[in-house]
Amino acid sequence: MVDLNLIKEFTWSRKHLLGLESLEKIEIEHVLELAKSLKEILNRPVKKVPALRGKTIALLFYEPSTRTRISFELAAKRLSADTVNFSVSSSSVVKGESLKDTGLNIEAMNVDIIVVRNSSAGTAHYLSKNVSAGIINAGDGMHEHPTQALLDLFTILEYKKKISNLTVAIVGDIAHSRVARSNIYGLKKMGARVILCGPPTMLLPEFKNLGIEISYDLNRVLECADVLNVLRIQKERINESLFPSMAEYREFFGVTRDRLLKYARPGLLILHPGPVNRGVELSPDVLDKGLIKKNIYSVVLNQVTNGLAVRMAILYLISGVGGKVEAVD
């Protein structure tokens, strides 16, 4: 039995998870602690508990997804909730139905939680004002991707045993990245030093007022980073030329085994939210190898495993059921 009453004295009061900008540190800590307890369920012979039996969760994905959609669906199933999937191409959105009307119609079928991904910033927030179901933001344009940042924090904590005072570098296409924004909010709240590294056209100088440092030199960053969170070049969001060529990008910002062996400090942990542009921001020998050299790890697939535990925690908290999670025989 996972006794959630043993988890730090704290009452979750949020109906929605819209972003990490609005979350308090204690709320982030609570999610991470709960996810750690729930991760144990995933290693049992019967990977299922009845915590959300009777609840219905709709997965409303207007944009493609592999990791987030599947892990939300699996997380719901591990907690015994019913799930319903929505894909734009086979829905009435193609006939012109609005987001609000889609949300209201799904809710009319007594859905408890809507997990939504959309290319427009503010979508989750908008839905939360217009339907009474709990809303979870699974990525809204270039704004936030809170569950990705929570699973990144969980993975850092799992390997490093702390987040406070670590130097975490976010590398690559930061300007177009909702993962970067949510990570910046989460890491700063948890007390990390954050460095953004990439071409000037892909950085976010406005975050300097949050105490974020900016660097254009990946080699120098590697000399001081404890964690490297490497981001994908988001070709689908880029309409202009932000760097001269892919070859040049790779030369200056590609994370390769040779570069790591030359510059990285011992203990470096390498994250990537996926999907990866293989051979662009991360070389295959870094992505596939795991242990690069003594104490330097890439943990990209471990992040995916942890995403399941974190999304179980979020579904559990947003559902408002509280109490104990009991195993089923």
Closest CB to ligand CP among 141 and 274? 274
Query: At closest approach, how far in Å is the CB of 72 from ligand CP?
Result: 9
H/E stretch holding 75 reads helix 67-78
H/E stretch holding 125 reads helix 123-130
**Dihedral angle computed from the Cα positions of residues 140, 141, 143 and 145, in that order, rounded to the nearest 10 degrees:** 50
Query: At closest approach, how far in Å is the CB of 148 from ligand CP?
Result: 5
- DSSP, collapsed to helix, strand or coil, labels residue 8 as coil
Query: At closest approach, how far in Å is the CB of 138 from ligand CP?
Result: 7
Which of 227, 192, 193, 197 has the alpha carbon at shortest distance from 215?
A: 197
Q: Which residue has the tokens 């704004």?
A: 143
Closest CB to ligand CP among 103 and 139? 139
Query: At closest approach, how far in Å is the CB of 179 from ligand CP?
Result: 7
Query: At closest approach, how far in Å is the CB of 87 from ligand CP?
Result: 14
Which of 81, 84, 87, 65 has the alpha carbon at shortest distance from 147?
A: 65
Query: At closest approach, how far in Å is the CB of 266 from ligand CP?
Result: 28
For 183, 223, 287, the CA distances from 254, given in Å and listed in that order, are 20, 15, 12
Query: At closest approach, how far in Å is the CB of 84 from ligand CP?
Result: 18
Closest CB to ligand CP among 30 and 67? 67
* Summary count for the chain: helices (H), strands (E): 11, 11
Positions that interact with ligand CP (CB under 6 A): 65-68, 139, 148, 273-275
Give 103: exposed, middle or buried? Use CB within 10 Å, 0-12, 13-18, 19+: buried
Closest CB to ligand CP among 148 and 155? 148
Query: At closest approach, how far in Å is the CB of 68 from ligand CP?
Result: 3
Distance, in Å, from the CA atom of 180 to the CA atom of 210, rounded to the nearest integer, reads 13
Q: 177-212: b or e for each residue (b if 16 or more CB lie within 10 Å)?
A: bbbbbbbbbbbbbbebbbbbbbbeebbbeebeeeeb
Closest CB to ligand CP among 229 and 264? 229
228 touches 270 (CB < 8 A): yes
Which of 295, 299, 218, 213 has the alpha carbon at shortest distance from 263?
A: 218
Closest CB to ligand CP among 64 and 200? 64
Closest CB to ligand CP among 179 and 292? 179
Closest CB to ligand CP among 148 and 298? 148
